[in-house]
Amino acid sequence: MAIIIQAKNQILREKAKEVPFKDIGSEKLKKILGEMAKTLYASEDGIALAAPQIGVPLRIFIVKKEISPSIFINPKIIKISKKKQILSEGCLSVNGIYGTIKRAEKLTIEALDEKGRKFTRGASGFMAQIIQHEIDHLNGTLFIDKAINLLKTRKEN
C-alpha cells in the first residue's frame, strides 16, 4: 500500500504524463494499478485516486467500485455541459478540509482501460464531479485552488 501524498508536495502541482501505449499491460503498470487500488480501498473516505496522489506522475485515475475499481488511463474530457452544479468536496491529499466547488453537471470522457481498450463514457451528477476532480489532479490542480467556503474538520480520536 502506498502513502497518499499531501497538498504541500510539489508532485501534486505537476501535469502528469501520458502512459505510453507500449506500457499498457506491462508488469510495471499492473504494479502501479495494484498499489493505487490497495491504497484507495484502504482509505475510509476515498472514492477515487489519481496516480500523482501516490507519487506516480502518470495520467491514470481509478474510481472505487464494489469488487474492483474502474480504471481510466490517459483520460480526456471530450464533452462538458455548460450547466454547473454547486457541490461539497474533499480530497485524500487535502486531509480534513472540505469546501464548496462549482463543477459541470454532465460530461463525456474518453480513456483506455488496463488492457489498452479505448472507451467512451457519459457521466452526470456525482460521477461527473469525481471525474472532474481526478482530471484536475492529472493537471496539477487541487480542489482547494477552486473551492470556496473551505472548512477544516477535526477527526475525533
pLDDT digits (tens, 9 = 90+) for 89-117: 999 999 999 999 999 999 999 999 999 99
17-26, 136-145, 148-157: the lowest-pLDDT one: 148-157
User: Can you give the pLDDT at residue 153?
Assistant: 83
Per-residue pLDDT for 157 more than 50?
no
**Position 108 in a domain:** yes
Mean of the pLDDT values across residues 125-151? 97
Give the chain's domain count.
1
Residue 56's Cβ-side half-sphere holds a number of Cα atoms within 13 Å equal to 21
| pLDDT band, residue 4 (cuts 50/70/90) | very high
**Position 2 in a domain:** no
User: Can you give the pLDDT at residue 66?
Assistant: 85
**Position 5 in a domain:** no
Active site residue 134: yes
**Position 1 in a domain:** no
The whole-model pTM stands at 0.94
**Position 4 in a domain:** no
* Domain around 93: 10-152
pLDDT, tens digit, for every residue of 46-81? 999 999 999 999 999 999 998 889 999 999 999 999
- For residue 112 the three cell numbers come to 483506455
User: Can you give the pLDDT at residue 155?
Assistant: 56
**Position 157 in a domain:** no
Pick left, alpha or beta for residue 115 (phi over 0 → left; psi -120 to 50 → alpha; otherwise beta): alpha
Q: Which of 18, 114, 134, 156 is catalytic?
A: 134
Indicate the average pLDDT of the chain: 95
| pLDDT band, residue 132 (cuts 50/70/90) | very high
Per-residue pLDDT for 156 more than 50?
no
**Position 3 in a domain:** no
Mean of the pLDDT values across residues 108-134? 97
At CA 19, angle to CA 17 and CA 20, rounded to 5? Answer: 115
**Position 146 in a domain:** yes
User: Can you give the pLDDT at residue 154?
Assistant: 62
